[in-house]
């Protein structure tokens, strides 16, 4: 059985925490569920950062260049095109779905990597942080901002010093704020869990991934 731990998420910064302890603090009944979310969201990379350029576009549309998919394009072709727009001071955005769907994430790594986030931080640090997903569980930046009482750049520095601890703190905060996600995850209702965690438009993509990773995870 998971051990009982304090509910204060801040204790996890700089601490060594087992999956059982973290699952218990987040309200999850099984560490397998925790491991499934982690595998799907980051593949276990605590330093993972994804710049959600489709969110940034709502705040600074003049900085974003929405690009159509390249028909039969290769990964290299997409990357080369993105690099050209970046060199011109733009944030290129190639949606995964329709070009008119500004809620579709980018399909090109160069458009959504940590370097893209850092470029955006030079324009508006707080908005850039809010428009990025952070850490092991890929929480949006609204969860990282309370890490320190300072400015957004200080929150990022806190994340960089201890990405695992920050990831754990953000996951607990998310679960405490979204009890219906916890209920769905504990019931293995992956459709509902994905709808809450990843958004309604991503259920078809994330629900089977969560189910698959849960089945693979060590009990």
Contact 160, 121 (CB under 8 A): no
Q: What pLDDT, in 10s, does the model give residues 66-95? A: 999 888 889 999 999 999 999 999 999 998
| This model's pTM is above 0.75 | yes
What are the tokens at 119?
């470029």
Q: Would you list the domain boundaries of the chain?
A: 9-44+163-216, 49-134
Q: What pLDDT, in 10s, does the model give residues 144-199? A: 777 666 789 989 999 999 999 999 999 999 999 999 999 999 999 999 999 999 99
Q: What's the rounded Cα separation, in Å, for the pair 125 and 122? A: 6
Residue with tokens 């990831």: 167
Contact 217, 35 (CB under 8 A): yes
> Phi, psi (5° rounding) for residue 105?
-65, 165
Contact 111, 93 (CB under 8 A): yes
């Amino acid at each position: 059985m998971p051990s009982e731990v304090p509910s204060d998420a801040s204790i996890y910064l700089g601490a060594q925490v087992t999956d059982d302890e973290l699952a218990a603090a987040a309200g999850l009944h099984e560490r397998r569920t925790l491991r499934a979310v982690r595998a799907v969201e980051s593949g276990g990379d605590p330093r993972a950062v994804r710049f959600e350029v489709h969110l940034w576009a709502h705040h600074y549309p003049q900085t974003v260049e929405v690009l159509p998919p390249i028909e039969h394009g290769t990964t290299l072709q997409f990357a080369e095109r993105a690099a050209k727009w970046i060199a011109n001071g733009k944030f290129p955005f190639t949606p995964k779905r329709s070009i008119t769907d500004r809620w579709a994430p980018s399909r090109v790594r160069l458009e959504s990597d940590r370097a893209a986030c850092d470029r955006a931080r030079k324009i508006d640090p707080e908005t850039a942080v809010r428009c990025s997903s952070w850490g092991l569980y890929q929480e949006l930046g609204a969860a990282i901002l309370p890490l320190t009482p300072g400015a957004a750049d200080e929150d990022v520095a806190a994340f960089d010093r201890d990405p695992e601890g920050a990831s754990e703190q953000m996951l607990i905060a998310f679960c405490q704020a979204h009890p219906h996600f916890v209920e769905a995850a504990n019931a293995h209702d992956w459709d509902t869990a994905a709808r809450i965690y990843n958004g309604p438009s991503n259920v078809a993509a994330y629900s089977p991934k969560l189910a698959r990773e849960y089945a693979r995870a060590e009990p």
